[in-house]
Amino acid sequence: MHFDIKLLLDEMVNVVQYRGILYCMNLSQLINEFLEYLEIERNVSPLTIRNYGHYLNRFLDFLVSSPLAGPKEKLTVAAITSESIRQYRLYLSRFVDNHDISLKRVTQNYHLIAIRSFLKYCTKRDVITVSADKIDLPKAESRSIKFLEREQIDRLLNQPEISTNVGMRDKAILETLFSTGLRVSELVKLDRDQINLERKEFGVIGKGRRSRLVFLSDGAVEWISRYLKTRDDDLRPLFIRYSGKSPDEGDKNGESLRLSARSIERLVEKYVRKARLPIKISPHGIRHSFASDLLMNGADLRSIQEMLGHKNISTTQIYTHVTNPQLRAIHEKFHRKEPALS
């Protein structure tokens, strides 16, 4: 077999020169291109892209703060080394904000996951840098799941004053949260024409842009129906605000009146206080309560995973803290029984 040595050497030089150019690429520019890649090719949600941008720009600022780094516009991918990543992990571990609050271990992991994804993107583009495999995530802290017992849920659901439009809306929101286990971000995006009250179901696009079917209880259907009867508009959002600034000019669909995620959080906090519940519960706590209620009543983890929209069953397994009814029966049958008399 004959090789053209000169041609082969020219190709090698071209590769070295090409990789050298990539190695000297501006880091800030490369991060922006990575975020565009997530949007265009990976179809990642805007929220995830925004979070990745936040985490990576914090890492960029950290690298710039190094005495030898130089200005941000001249910082290249060569600044990412095993040592700079080690120093950054120490920085995250010791970070304290102006309110003397440190970063939770899970938040530190989010920063590292963003860096790992960025490094994998660099490898995909033949950019010479640290291997993503060299970044191990520290073991996350065990999560303490807050959820309400059924009696506490009933107390919470009965708090809104249904003689007012606001109270009727709030009652429908609480019933929907507990009936469906929706994330608050999914709830606020609901539109009126999206809900099929007759079939007691509707579809949502959840985390990771994964679609799933969501089911409504009879109670939730009743209270959504009663709430909609109080509405004298044809605005698109299912849940709207009744106070605050006027609708934006030209907003015919009512998007500017759509309740925000923070509004739902404040609403839940208000009724938790009113019900004098012993634990502080957020909308996500109602989601936990939904999953826990299913599990305690015999639902299997796979079904709960589907209803919650979890990508991995391992995420759903955090709910196994709830007493399995079969295990409870075994415990009551065999634990601390009086020994038989001889």
Residue 230 DSSP label: T
172 and 116 within one domain: no
Q: Could you tell me if 248 and 106 are in contact, meaning their C-beta atoms sit under 8 angstroms apart?
A: no
In the listed set 83, 109, 134, which residue is the last one of a domain according to the structure?
Answer: 134
What is the model's pLDDT at position 15?
Answer: 40
What is the model's pLDDT at position 318?
Answer: 79
What is the model's pLDDT at position 185?
Answer: 93
What is the model's pLDDT at position 188?
Answer: 96
Of residues 55, 227, 271, 319, which has the active-site annotation? 319
In the listed set 134, 165, 185, which residue is the last one of a domain according to the structure?
Answer: 134
Query: For the chain, what percentages of helix, strand and coil (3-state, to nearest 5) are there?
Result: 60, 5, 35
**244 in any annotated domain:** yes
**66 in any annotated domain:** yes
**Mean pLDDT, each 10-residue run in order, the chain (342 residues):** 50 43 74 94 88 95 80 84 93 90 91 95 91 83 76 96 96 97 95 95 88 94 96 94 85 92 95 94 93 87 91 83 60 60 52
pTM: 0.69
* Helix, strand counts (H, E) of the chain: 14, 2
**35 in any annotated domain:** yes
CATH number at residue 263: 1.10.443.10
What is the model's pLDDT at position 4?
Answer: 57
User: Is 310 marked active-site?
Assistant: yes
258 and 321 within one domain: yes
User: Is 143 marked active-site?
Assistant: no
What is the model's pLDDT at position 210?
Answer: 87
96 and 179 within one domain: no
226 and 120 within one domain: no
**314 in any annotated domain:** yes
Of residues 125, 207, 231, 274, which has the active-site annotation? 207
Q: What is the dihedral of CA 156, 157, 158, 161, to 10 degrees?
A: 100
What is the model's pLDDT at position 12?
Answer: 43
171 and 88 within one domain: no
**140 in any annotated domain:** no
161 and 53 within one domain: no
- Structural domain boundaries enclosing 64: 5-134
Task: Find all residues with CB under 8 Å of 89, minimum gap 6, and list them.
Answer: 108, 112
215 and 77 within one domain: no
Of residues 111, 116, 169, 183, which has the active-site annotation? 183
In the listed set 134, 162, 195, which residue is the last one of a domain according to the structure?
Answer: 134
Residue 318 token pair: 């955090």
What is the model's pLDDT at position 226?
Answer: 97
**142 in any annotated domain:** no
196 and 117 within one domain: no
**338 in any annotated domain:** no
Which region, left, alpha or beta, applies to residue 35 given φ > 0 means left and ψ of -120 to 50 means alpha?
Answer: alpha
Number of domains in the chain: 2
Residue 192 token pair: 């009126």
Q: What is the largest CA-CA distance in the chain?
A: 97
Cα distance between residue 48 and residue 327, in whole Å:
39
What is the model's pLDDT at position 31?
Answer: 95
User: Is 99 marked active-site?
Assistant: no
118 and 35 within one domain: yes
286 and 182 within one domain: yes
Of residues 116, 171, 258, 287, which has the active-site annotation? 287
182 and 273 within one domain: yes
User: Is 331 marked active-site?
Assistant: no
What is the model's pLDDT at position 335?
Answer: 62
Residue 134 token pair: 């060299």
β-partners of residue 215 are 201
What is the model's pLDDT at position 1?
Answer: 47
185 and 87 within one domain: no
What is the model's pLDDT at position 18?
Answer: 40
Sequence letter at residue 289? S
User: Is 319 marked active-site?
Assistant: yes
**30 in any annotated domain:** yes
